[in-house]
């Protein structure tokens, strides 16, 4: 793996794991007033498209990263509806 691929892997890990603190904070505080529902809906649709794209080009990193991100975004949407 050359340094450019390592850079892409690090970027994928950060832009996936990055949502975990927000999910934890929302789950703990049970408050979503400041959180934009539109943002999480649009991001979720976009990430599902990335997931489909990753499957179609048979790229495991793209598929895996966006699969996990889709799950985290879906969890945020559920919390947003639950704690409107």
Per-residue binding letters, 49-78, with its own copies (x by CB under 8 A): xx-xx--xx---------------------
Looking from the CA of 65 toward its CB, the CA atoms found within 13 Å total 19
In the region spanning residues 14 to 33, those forming contacts with its own copies, defined by CB under 8 A, are 14-15, 17-22, 24-26, 29, 31-33
DSSP per-residue letters across 8-63: HHHHHHHHHHTTHHHHHHHHHH---TTS-HHHHHHHHHHHHHHHHHHHHTT-HHHH
What residues make contact with its own copies under the rule CB under 8 A?
4, 7-8, 10-15, 17-22, 24-26, 29, 31-36, 38-39, 42-43, 45-47, 49-50, 52-53, 56-57
């Amino acid at each position: 793996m050359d340094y450019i691929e390592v850079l892409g892997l690090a970027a994928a890990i950060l832009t996936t794991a990055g949502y975990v603190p927000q999910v934890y904070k929302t789950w703990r505080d049970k408050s979503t007033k400041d959180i934009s529902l539109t943002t999480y809906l649009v991001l979720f649709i976009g990430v599902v498209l990335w997931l489909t794209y990753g499957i179609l080009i048979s790229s495991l990193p793209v598929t895996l990263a966006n699969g996990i991100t889709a799950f985290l975004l879906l969890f945020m949407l559920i919390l947003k509806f639950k704690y409107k």
